Amino acid sequence: MKTFAENLFGEDDKLKSSVLADGELDTRHGPILYMEDVSVSFDGFKALNKLSLYIDAGELRCVIGPNGAGKTTMMDVITGKTRPDVGSVFFGQTIDLLKMDEPAIAQVGIGRKFQKPSVFDALTVFENLELALKADKRTWQTLFFRLSGEQRDRIGAVLETVGLSAFAKERAGILSHGQKQWLEIGMLLMQEPKVMLVDEPIAGMTHQEIERTAELLLSLQGERSLVVVEHDMEFVRSIAKKVTVLHEGTVLTEGTMDEVQNDPRVIQVYLGG
Ligand SMILES: Nc1ncnc2c1ncn2[C@@H]1O[C@H](COP(=O)(O)OP(=O)(O)OP(=O)(O)O)[C@@H](O)[C@H]1O
């Protein structure tokens, strides 16, 4: 039988060796995700300009920056949606993400939560999570496959994590906007990503939902890494240890929220002063 790495990477020895024997990612000597000197041009315009970013295992990183700074393009490059002109993007020390397509990158452990929730309204909350199970790709073909006890437990644990246990049997269509966002985060968690990219998680949420989302994201760090792109500075302050400020496709500065907010370059970029 083929190993996990062989299924993912075929016969490529270099890629195979990047996943340790027990399926763990090799992050022993550095960050879990990094991009170096990445540039992306659209019709000559540099959306990313020698961008370098290093994300540690277990950290929750917030990425901010004015409109057009390159935040979305950065996530598109990590997830394989956009190919850079130059630069490198690695998962762990040895998995070269630029050699993989979007589905392979998702499968290797990088999950992305888009701004707009895309849950299945007609299915129950439980069924949405069931669909997201990565254990068996055929799950997508039939909703009525038999779940193992272990899989049920996993769904139960995710329901608890995202605070939707009481809604398990309800159709997702009746959920509030915030609850749908949490369900989608839950669907991502079913795939057990090692890195989660989260795009503007609180857009359109009530104050209470925002607080709950901060708690949820904070609870997810450690076991996995999160990269959160968000415009709401108050929210960023409530969750961030380290903030990266992007501007014109490159890192303007990094530090604590206090450090970056007091950086004259950041003030100038945001206020245009
Ligand atoms: N497919 C594309 N074709 C042409 N230009 C693009 C494309 N995608 C992005 N751009 C441009 O690249 C720049 C960076 O865009 P990007 O969406 O990454 O910024 P952002 O920081 O996510 O902005 P926002 O906060 O508004 O979402 C922008 O000037 C944008 O217009």
- Token readout for 151 is 């899989």
Q: How many CA atoms lie within 13 A of 201 on its CB side?
A: 31
Closest-CA residue, ligand 1 atom 25, reads 67
Amino acid 114 reads: F
Q: Which atom of ligand 1 is nearest to the CA of 74?
A: 18
Read off the pLDDT of each residue in 113-142 and give the average, rounded to a whole number: 77
Q: Cα(63) to centroid of ligand 1, in Å? A: 15
Q: Is the pLDDT of residue 263 over 80?
A: yes
Read off the pLDDT of each residue in 93-121 and give the average, rounded to a whole number: 90
Query: ipTM more than 0.85?
Result: yes
Higher per-residue pLDDT: 145 or 67 = 67
- Token readout for 15 is 């890629």
Segments making up each domain of the chain, as ranges: 4-115+196-212+224-271
Is the shortest distance between the CB of 72 and ligand 1 below 6 Å? yes
Task: Give pLDDT, residue 14.
Answer: 41
pLDDT digit string (tens) for 154-191?
A: 999 999 999 999 999 999 999 999 999 999 999 999 98
Closest-CA residue, ligand 1 atom 7, reads 42
The CATH number of domain 4-115+196-212+224-271 is 3.40.640.10: no
- Residue 14 Cα distances to 10, 11, 84, 99, 191, angstroms: 11, 9, 22, 11, 25
Tokens 């608890």 belong to which residue? 160
Q: Is the pLDDT of residue 23 over 60?
A: no
Q: For helices 207-220 and 177-190, what crossing angle results, to 10°?
A: 10
Closest-CA residue, ligand 1 atom 2, reads 42
- Distance from C-alpha of 64 to C-alpha of 52, rounded to nearest angstrom: 15
Residue percentage of the chain with pLDDT more than 70 = 84
Is the shortest distance between the CB of 47 and ligand 1 below 6 Å? yes
Q: Which atom of ligand 1 is nearest to the CA of 76?
A: 18
DSSP secondary structure string for all residues of 136-178: -GGGGT-TTSPPPHHHHHHHHHHHHHTT-GGGTTSBGGGS-HH
Q: Cα(240) to centroid of ligand 1, in Å? A: 24
Query: What is the C-alpha radius of gyration for the chain, rounded to an integer number of angstroms?
Result: 19
Is the shortest distance between the CB of 229 and ligand 1 below 6 Å? no
Sign of CA dihedral 184, 196, 70, 46: negative
Task: Give pLDDT, residue 137.
Answer: 53
The residue among 264, 273, 255, 205 whose CA lies nearest residue 62 is: 255
The pTM for the full model equals: 0.86
